[in-house]
Amino acid sequence: MSSAATPEPASVSGSLCLTLLTLTFAIPGIIGTVKVSTPPVVEAEMEKPISIPCVPEISTPSTMKYIQWFAMEKDTRQRIYFQDGESSTVDNATDYTGRIRVDKNYTLTIDHVKLGDERTFLCQVGAGSAGSNEAPTELKVYDAPEMPEIIPSATSISIMGTMPAEIASCRTRNGYPAPNITWYKDRMPLQATAMMNDKIYMKSQATQEPSGLYTIVSTLYYLPEKKDKDSKFYCEVSYRMPLGVHRMMESIRISIAITYPTENVELLIQPSVLKESDNMTMECKSDGSSSVEYTFYKVLDGIEETFDNNGNTMEVSRVKRVDSGVYGCRVLDFEVEDKEFNVNKTVTINYLDPIVLTPKGPYIFTEGDRNVNLYCDAKGSKPTSVVWTKHKKTVVSSANELSLPVVTFDDSGNYSCKVTVPTVPNLARQKSISIIVKGPPQVNCTETTFHKNGPHMNLTCVFKGYPAPEVTCSVKEAPTIRHHRQNNYVVVVSELILPLTVEVLQLTCNGTNVHGSEAYNFIVNEGSMGVPTTGSPTADVTHNRSSGGVVIVVIIVCILLLAILGAVLYFLYKKGKIPCGRSGKQDITRTDAHDDIVVEVKNDQKVPEETVLLQGVNGEKKPSSDQERKEYADLRSEET
């Protein structure tokens, strides 16, 4: 530890009172005196320079004056410097040859002060007939000791003892004068005495080295208490330096090794909440520091079963629910005769059984089924919580029941039932199921118009159903069809590109599986405005959906209406209400009186350059050239 004060350069110390010695000579007609003043004591630090002033006072003027400096060795003086007028010399073969100098004011300076410089120096001044006089100065030398070193005792100390034991030794080297050592415990000084007693004392030894410096060793004897197990001991070295400066240095802090008997025992079990497959760790903690023996045991059906262990801890790997029970440990303290401590705890191993689903799968339902309920449950050591999720994220139920009031295709998908024990971390089970909804196809179509080398329409139909429906459209070539599974029903996407080049364009797409079919009827009416050459067509789009049964009913109704219309016309003809000539006669059963469907299917989405005309029902082909189209239009006008 650093010193308590900052070193100061050596300088003159003592009071301002000077030593005044007067020598009076009786000369007829003349009385003269010489006075010499020096400080009585000067303090110096080793290896530093020191100056000793000398101030002479002569009562009468004199042309003759000299000065001498002497170093005292016991009762013998040794001259080290002489000056007479302008001539001066440093005496040879002394301890100060080469280390001293005297200025014009007669002040003596000693460089590199040594311990041997601690002596008396004399300043002598002579002034001819006035006589001479001298004054002494005592030089004191100081040197700071080294940092204190603390050495703790190598053996532990029992609080059961009756006399103080050695705690530690404190040693400091090379100080001058001899420093002092004080012992501390937790920053409080210990009132240790040199007298042996039954609580605390210390022994100190001072040794002067050949260099003249001192080494001090202090040993502390102390009877500790249990509370001292956490205390810190250290020693402090205090010493004096020039100018009355007091400094101190502290050693490092140490803890002493003390032993004390057990008073309390605690059993710790980790983790605090256990579940099956965990590793259970038991730790037996005693508050004593003496040598003890630990024994772990389990009580099963009133019988104690001990475990092999090493030290105060034991681990049980991958515990099961049958491992629940009473666990404990015993502590035998050898320092206290016949003293045994026992502590135990009841340990519960939490568990969660596998999930049970009611009813059992497979979970295949028919669209339209009502009041479908699935139950998820698992028995555990503590109350459980159940959550149903769909596609791993959407919570569909926060109870053990999954209820589907009316089954639809949207209920298809992957479901997960998770059972947890909220009071036990990470105790959970999860089971996944797949719900399949079977049923006839459902269709949804969208139309978009565009213009590229003529007006066209893109028809996209989506068929839902399980099993996957087969899709057909009333075109020469099959539409582009894509299949992908959505939840647990199959989505079939059909795409058609239709040219809009006739007055009426009609198309039917049908989806069929084992459960039924559904058709989509698509009609485009351009009206009287015609088809524009650029931009989107000005067409009215009408469409309807029909299932297989609905289509049959519609056909039957149409046949009946046609039969009734034919009967009415035939009756009017017989009554003569309808005049018919050979030129104006018209066959109402001709199939070419109706427009055929004109479609073109492009799987690569390219727009056709020419319109493909499908065959009519009667086997006739539509005209392809402009002239043929004109004739065909005229014929239709006459028929009208």
Give 169-202 as a DSSP string.
EEEEEEEBS--EEEEEETTEE----SS--SSEEE
Tally of CB atoms within 10 A around 517: 21
Alpha-carbon distance of 412 to 597, in angstroms, equals 38
Asked if 40 and 19 count as a contact pair (C-beta separation under 8 A), the reply is: yes
Question: What pLDDT, on the 0 to 100 scale, is given for residue 490?
Answer: 77
For 113-177, give the DSSP string: --GGG-SEEEEEEE-GGG-EEEEEEEEEEEBPPPPPEEEE-SS-EETT-SS-EEEEEEEEEEEBS
Domain shared by 327 and 236, yes or no: no
Does the residue 190 lie in any domain? Answer: yes
Question: What pLDDT, on the 0 to 100 scale, is given for residue 557?
Answer: 80
Question: What pLDDT, on the 0 to 100 scale, is given for residue 501?
Answer: 62
Confidence of residue 26 (pLDDT cuts 50, 70, 90): very low
Alpha-carbon distance of 366 to 439, in angstroms, equals 6
Alpha-carbon distance of 242 to 113, in angstroms, equals 13
More reliable by pLDDT, 367 or 571? 367
Strand ranges in 487-631 using DSSP code E only, listed in sequence order: 489-499, 504-513, 516-525, 540-547
When mean pLDDT is compared across 91-100, 146-155, 492-501, the lowest value belongs to: 492-501
Nearest in space to 15 (alpha carbons), one of 183, 137, 120, 164? 137
Strand ranges in 53-119 using DSSP code E only, listed in sequence order: 55-58, 66-73, 76-84, 87-90, 100-102, 108-110
Does the residue 639 lie in any domain? Answer: no
Longest Cα–Cα distance of the chain, Å, equals: 202
Q: Which of 350, 380, 397 is the C-terminal boundary of a domain?
A: 350
Question: What pLDDT, on the 0 to 100 scale, is given for residue 477?
Answer: 63
Domain shared by 327 and 411, yes or no: no
Alpha-carbon distance of 13 to 47, in angstroms, equals 18
Backbone angles phi, psi at 415, to 5 degrees: -115, 150
Segment 543-551 shows an average pLDDT of: 52
Q: Residue 571: helix, strand or coil by DSSP?
A: helix
Q: pTM of the entire structure?
A: 0.53
Tally of CB atoms within 10 A around 140: 18
Per-residue pLDDT reduced to its tens digit, 606-625: 333 333 322 232 333 333 33
Confidence of residue 113 (pLDDT cuts 50, 70, 90): very high
Confidence of residue 550 (pLDDT cuts 50, 70, 90): low
Does the residue 42 lie in any domain? Answer: yes
Cα 379 to its chain centre, rounded Å, is 36
Whether the link from the prior residue into 40 is cis, omega within 30° of 0, is: no
Rg (CA), the chain: 61
Mean of all residue pLDDT scores within the chain: 80
Segment 172-190 shows an average pLDDT of: 95
Segment 357-375 shows an average pLDDT of: 93
Q: Which of 258, 280, 298 is the C-terminal boundary of a domain?
A: 258
Does the residue 209 lie in any domain? Answer: yes
Domain shared by 454 and 547, yes or no: yes
Name the burial class of residue 130, with classes exposed (0-12), middle (13-18) and buried (19+) by CB atoms within 10 angstroms of its CB: buried
SS3 content of the chain, % helix, strand, coil (to 5): 10, 50, 40
Q: Is the pLDDT of residue 13 over 60?
A: no
Asked if 598 and 612 count as a contact pair (C-beta separation under 8 A), the reply is: yes
Domain shared by 566 and 437, yes or no: yes
Quote the domain boundaries for residue 524: 352-613
Question: What pLDDT, on the 0 to 100 scale, is given for residue 499?
Answer: 74
**Residue 435, beta-bridge partner list:** 363, 413
Structure tokens, 110: 């000693």
Q: Strand order of the sheet with strand 292-300?
A: 303-306, 292-300, 325-333, 340-347
Structure tokens, 615: 């065959």
Question: What pLDDT, on the 0 to 100 scale, is given for residue 526?
Answer: 52
Confidence of residue 545 (pLDDT cuts 50, 70, 90): low
When mean pLDDT is compared across 265-274, 333-342, 371-380, 592-601, the lowest value belongs to: 592-601
Count CA atoms closer than 13 A to 602's CA, side-chain side.
Answer: 16
Segment 239-259 shows an average pLDDT of: 94
Domain shared by 323 and 382, yes or no: no
Domain shared by 249 and 267, yes or no: no
Domain shared by 44 and 76, yes or no: yes
Structure tokens, 621: 């082909």
Asked if 12 and 108 count as a contact pair (C-beta separation under 8 A), the reply is: no
Does the residue 631 lie in any domain? Answer: no
Nearest in space to 278 (alpha carbons), one of 324, 345, 329? 324
Confidence of residue 578 (pLDDT cuts 50, 70, 90): low
Does the residue 623 lie in any domain? Answer: no
For 429-481, give the DSSP string: EEEEEEEEEEEEEEEEEEEEEEESSSEEEEEEEEEEEESPPEEEESSSSPPEE
Percent of the chain with pLDDT over 90: 51
Q: Residue 358 contacts by C-beta under 8 Å, 6 or more apart in sequence? A: 374, 375, 377
CATH number at residue 177: 2.60.40.10
Nearest in space to 232 (alpha carbons), one of 260, 207, 263, 253? 253
Domain shared by 228 and 284, yes or no: no
Domain shared by 176 and 217, yes or no: yes
In the block, tokens 């596998």 appear at 354
Structure tokens, 389: 């999720």
Alpha-carbon distance of 276 to 270, in angstroms, equals 14
Q: Is the pLDDT of residue 241 over 80?
A: yes
Domain shared by 96 and 171, yes or no: no
Question: What pLDDT, on the 0 to 100 scale, is given for residue 544?
Answer: 54
Q: Which residues of 51-68 are buried (b: 16+ CB within 10 A; e: fewer)?
A: bbbbbbebeeeeeebbbb
- How many domains, the chain? 4
Domain shared by 589 and 460, yes or no: yes
Question: What pLDDT, on the 0 to 100 scale, is given for residue 28?
Answer: 42
Domain shared by 243 and 288, yes or no: no
Segment 282-303 shows an average pLDDT of: 89
Q: Is the pLDDT of residue 636 over 80?
A: no
Q: Which of 313, 331, 350 is the C-terminal boundary of a domain?
A: 350
Per-residue pLDDT reduced to its tens digit, 487-530: 677 788 888 877 776 555 678 889 999 999 999 888 776 543 33
CB < 8 Å & 24+ apart, contacts of 119-123? 119/71, 119/72, 119/73, 120/71, 120/72, 121/52, 121/69, 121/70, 121/71, 121/72, 122/69, 122/70, 122/71, 122/72, 122/77, 123/36, 123/38, 123/52, 123/54, 123/67, 123/68, 123/69
Per-residue pLDDT reduced to its tens digit, 406-429: 999 889 889 999 999 999 999 999
CA distances from 197 to 163, 189, 287, 517 (A): 8, 18, 30, 113
Structure tokens, 10: 């050596």
